[in-house]
Structure 1
Amino acid sequence: MKSRHVFLVGLPLVLIFWSFSNNHLKLDTSSLYTSATAVNKEFYDATAFVGPVLNSTYFDVRYYSLAITPPDSFLTFREALAFKESQGKFWKVNSLGYMGKYQFGMSTLETLGVTDSLRFLRSPRLQERVFIKNLRYNHEILEPYILKYAGKKVGGVYITESGILAAAHLSGPGGVKRFFKTKGRKSNRDAYGSSVKTYMKRFAGYDMSEVIEP
C-alpha cells in the first residue's frame, strides 16, 4: 500500500517535469533564423569581409547561420564552391601550387594585390576578401555574357549568373568566353579534369545579389 502511495504521488511530479522539459527545451527555429539573419547582415559588408569565416577547427553560432541559410544563397554557393576546390581548407596547397580555401594561383593573387603567399595562407579573412574581389572582377568582365545568356540553354547547359561566375573561378573569364563563342562545344578543363561546363551545371541557380554590386 505504501509503495502504491509513493507511485501515485511521484507520477504527477514526473509528468510536470516532462511537460516543463518538453516545452522549454524546444529549439525556437524562428528566433534562431532571425538572429542568424542578423549575423549574416552584419558580415555581408560588401566593402570588407563577406560572410562568417567557417573553419573546421571550431564550432560556434555562425555554423547555425550556414545550416539554416537558404539553399540558393550566396553563402551556400561560396561554401559549396570552397568544398569542391579544397574541402573548405584554408591551409591547403595542391600539387600544382594552388592555394587556400578557393585554390588561387600566385599569378591571380598578384593581379588581385596579394604578393605574400604565406600571409595569404595564414589569413582566412584575407582569403575571403580576395575571393569576393575576384568574383566581382569576373562579373564585371562577363556581365555582357550574363545579360545575354542567363536563362537560356547553351550546349545543353541551363545558364545562370552563379554558374558563369563559378566557371570563371575555374578557368578565368577567357574560358567562359570560349564556351559561349563556340556555343558550348569547347569547354576548358583544369589539370584535374573539371570543366567549365561541369561548373556551370553544378553551381547554377544561386542568388548572387548580396555580393555583386548593382
Structure 2
Amino acid sequence: MRKRFYFITVLPVVALLVGTGFSSKKDYDFSTFSTEGLELNYDVPTEADMSSVYTPKFHLFLGKTYLGFKEALGFMESAGDYHIVNDYGYMGKYQFSRSTLKMMGFKDTSNFLYDSQQQEDAFLAYIALNKWVLRNDIKRYAGKTIGGVKVTESGILAAAHLAGAGNVKKFLRSSGENRFSDANGTSIRNYLRTFSGYDTSHIEANRRFKKIG
C-alpha cells in the first residue's frame, strides 16, 4: 500500500520534468542573443582547397587492345585534345588535314573540331583504308626487323597515319633506307616502335570511304 502511495506521488513530478525538458523552441525568445561586437574568426574552404586535400586518381589500363591503340595514337598526336589545331593546320585528336578529310567525304569541316564522334569515325575509316593499301606489305613484313625495329601490323598502321601509306611502303621496301620524318621530327621508325604489337586484327581493310560528313 505504501509503495503504491509513493508511485502515485512521484508520477506527477516526473510528468512535469519531462514536459518542461522537451519544450519546443517556440517557447524561447532568441531576440536578445546577438553576435554584434564579437570577433568571429572562421574560414570556409573553397572548392580548390578541398580538391587539394583529396584528389582521386584513376589509372585506366587499356593494354594492347584496339582501344589502347587509338587512345595512345591520339595522345601522341594531340595529347587527346579533340579541339586542337596545330601550327600546320592539322585538326583534332588524330590531327587530320583538311584535304584528307575532304577526300574522306567531309563536305564541311567547320564543325569537325566540335564533333568527337566524327573524329572517331574518321580515324577508323582512315585506318581501314590504310590497312587495305598496305595489305600486302603487312603480310610480307610483319614479324620482321627493318631499320632496327620489329615490324607489326599496328606499327605499320600507326606509321601510315603519321606519314601516309606511300611513305611507309618506301620505308619497308627499301629495308629502312628510305626514311621519313614529319615537321616535328617524328619518324616512321618511331611510330613502328611505339605502336608495336597492338591488336588491330578486327579492323577490316576497306578501300572505299563511307561518307561520314
Aligned match of 1:30: none
CA root-mean-square deviation: 1.9
Instruction: Could you tell me which runs of 5 or more consecutive residues in structure 1 were left unpaired when the two chains were aligned.
Output: 1-63
- Give me the identity figure in percent: 44
Aligned match of 2:114: 122
C-alpha deviations, 1:160-212, integer Å up to 9, x for none? Answer: 00000000000110110110121101221111101111100110000012333
Aligned match of 1:85: 77
* Match 1:75 to one of 56, 67, 70: 67
| Structure with the larger RCO, 1 or 2 (CA within 8 Å, 6+ apart) | 2
Deviation at 1:154, TM superposition (A): 1.0
Deviation at 1:68, TM superposition (A): 4.4
Aligned match of 1:137: 129
**Cα distance in 2 between the residues matched to 1:140 and 1:213:** 4
| SS of residue in 2 equivalent to 1:193 | coil
**Cα distance in 2 between the residues matched to 1:211 and 1:185:** 29
AA in 2 matched with 1:94: N
| SS of residue in 2 equivalent to 1:118 | coil
AA in 2 matched with 1:85: E
AA in 2 matched with 1:67: L
**Cα distance in 1 between the residues matched to 2:133 and 2:202:** 19
Deviation at 1:213, TM superposition (A): 5.5
TM-score of the two chains, using structure 2 as the length reference = 0.67
Aligned match of 1:198: 190
What is the total number of aligned residue pairs between the two structures? 150
8 Å contact 2:155–2:191 — kept in the other structure? yes
Aligned match of 1:179: 171
**Cα distance in 2 between the residues matched to 1:178 and 1:194:** 16
**Cα distance in 1 between the residues matched to 2:76 and 2:200:** 18
- Whether 2:208 is the aligned partner of 1:209: answer no
- Answer 1 or 2: which has greater helix percent: 1
| SS of residue in 2 equivalent to 1:67 | coil
Instruction: Could you tell me which runs of 5 or more consecutive residues in structure 2 were left unpaired when the two chains were aligned.
Output: 1-57, 207-213
Aligned match of 2:7: none
Q: Which moved more, 1:90-99 or 1:113-122?
A: 113-122
AA in 1 matched with 2:85: V
AA in 1 matched with 2:198: Y
Give the greater-gyration-radius structure (CA): 2
| SS of residue in 2 equivalent to 1:107 | helix
